[in-house]
Amino acid sequence: MISRSTNSGPTISGATISGLSIKWSLVAFACLVLLTGRLAPAQTAIRVGAFPNITHPQAMVGKSNGWFEKAMSPQVKIDWKSFNAGPSAIEALFAGAIDMTYIGPNPAISGYVRSNGEALRIVAGATSGGAALVVRNDSGIQKPEDFHGKKIASPQMGNTQDVALRAWLKSHGMKSADKGGDVQVIPLANPDQLTLFLKKELDGAWAPEPWATRLIVEGNGRLFLDERTLWPNGQFITAHLIVRTQFLKEHPDLVKNWIRAHVELTDWMNGHLPEAKKLLNQQIAKETGKALPDAVLDQAFGRMTATYDPLRGSLMNAAQSAFDAGFLGRKMPDLSSLYDLSLLNQVLAEKGKKAIQ
């Protein structure tokens, strides 16, 4: 209500003063919301890839017991992504759908080369060993020469076991059918390999664990070759951790925290194998719908070792094999910038451990 005075202009009544007070309160509240919104820490998501098998033990155990969630900041949300083989994970990384992934060496090499050395960096190792060539007991295969005319599976064309298979065939004077030879190399998902073993439609497979052991125990298979026998000291990289280069540049602290947790989890697993195997099996059951029998788990674990050392030398040999198989172009690529172990070595220095070259 406005009243008028004969000596002055309009005056404001108590009701109008109250209305102005409400307006000023709303303005103050809006400013407070804006201020607190700026001060509140934003949540960061890390999208991490892994495969549901025991050659990615840090990922499987970490998923099962929440190791990485406990190690990272409360403002960090971990979004796990599952893949069957390396090339699929690389495509997801190219598309910006994941920030890091546990993966085998050959897909990492291929992704690095395809992106002209821009897309990714290897920042830590994950496992050594854990792959084998298994043949069906009634396949008629007793020696390398018996592979002529046979059907042998790998998880996916160009993945780590696929390259290893092709390199082994070449070392024994054989080629895959797509290269003019008579051995049919068939890219096939690991569960489907077991199905076709049982149907006697496959003669053998170069498979990662636990599938190699499952082919033996459940698929009437026989261990023909433990891949460790092909490498010095029985050590070769089966899986490591790679990071999208842009994410590494933008969030080095997050990557370092992840690597620290990865190193600590690796040490914990190697010191608590029974408990680690139990947690890993629980996660595999959750993702695949079936836990591994104890006999399979023990036998498969016996052929591999968890490690944070990326075993650079074995990867360089694998790169040569991938090049020879025609997966890396016409010229052997320069892999000098594939590794960035600076954060790993910072973590190792903090813990009084020896640096990795």
- Asked whether residue 23 is domain-assigned, the answer is no
Q: Count Cβ neighbours within 10 Å for each residue of 318-335 and write b for 16 or more, e otherwise.
A: bbebbbebebbeeeebeb
Task: Give the pLDDT score at 10.
Answer: 43
Residue type at position 354: K
pLDDT of 295 strictly over 80: yes
Give me the number of domains the chain comprises.
Answer: 2
Residues 105 and 135 reside in one and the same domain:
no
Residues 181 and 255 reside in one and the same domain:
no
Task: Give the pLDDT score at 2.
Answer: 41
Q: Which of 233, 252, 275 is the last residue of a domain?
A: 233
Q: DSSP letter string over 323-355?
A: HHTTSS-SS----TTSB--HHHHHHHHHTTPPP
Model pTM?
A: 0.80
Residues 151 and 204 reside in one and the same domain:
yes
- Measure CA of the first residue to CA of the last residue in the chain; give whole Å: 82
- Asked whether residue 27 is domain-assigned, the answer is no
CA distance 113 to 335: 8
Residues 117 and 258 reside in one and the same domain:
yes
- Asked whether residue 355 is domain-assigned, the answer is no
Residues 85 and 176 reside in one and the same domain:
no
- Asked whether residue 38 is domain-assigned, the answer is no
Structure tokens at 15: 């009701």
Residue of 248, 297, 261, 293 whose CA lies nearest to 277: 297
Residues 179 and 307 reside in one and the same domain:
no
**Full residue range of the structural domain in which residue 260 is found:** 44-129+235-350
pLDDT digits (tens, 9 = 90+) for 24-77: 454 554 444 444 444 445 668 899 999 988 889 999 999 999 999 999 988 899
pLDDT of 297 strictly over 50: yes
Residues 211 and 345 reside in one and the same domain:
no
How high does pLDDT run on average in the chain?
89
Question: The domain spanning residue 217 has which CATH number?
Answer: 3.40.190.10
- Asked whether residue 107 is domain-assigned, the answer is yes
pLDDT digits (tens, 9 = 90+) for 221-248: 999 999 999 999 999 999 999 999 999 9
pLDDT digits (tens, 9 = 90+) for 339-348: 999 999 999 9
Residues 111 and 260 reside in one and the same domain:
yes
Residues 250 and 192 reside in one and the same domain:
no
Residues 105 and 221 reside in one and the same domain:
no
pLDDT confidence bin for 192, thresholds 50/70/90: very high
Task: Give the pLDDT score at 43.
Answer: 64
Residues 239 and 285 reside in one and the same domain:
yes
- Asked whether residue 214 is domain-assigned, the answer is yes
- Asked whether residue 139 is domain-assigned, the answer is yes
CA distance 269 to 58: 8
- Asked whether residue 5 is domain-assigned, the answer is no
Task: Give the pLDDT score at 73.
Answer: 85
Q: Which of 180, 207, 233 is the last residue of a domain?
A: 233
Q: Which of 233, 253, 271 is the last residue of a domain?
A: 233
Residues 87 and 223 reside in one and the same domain:
no
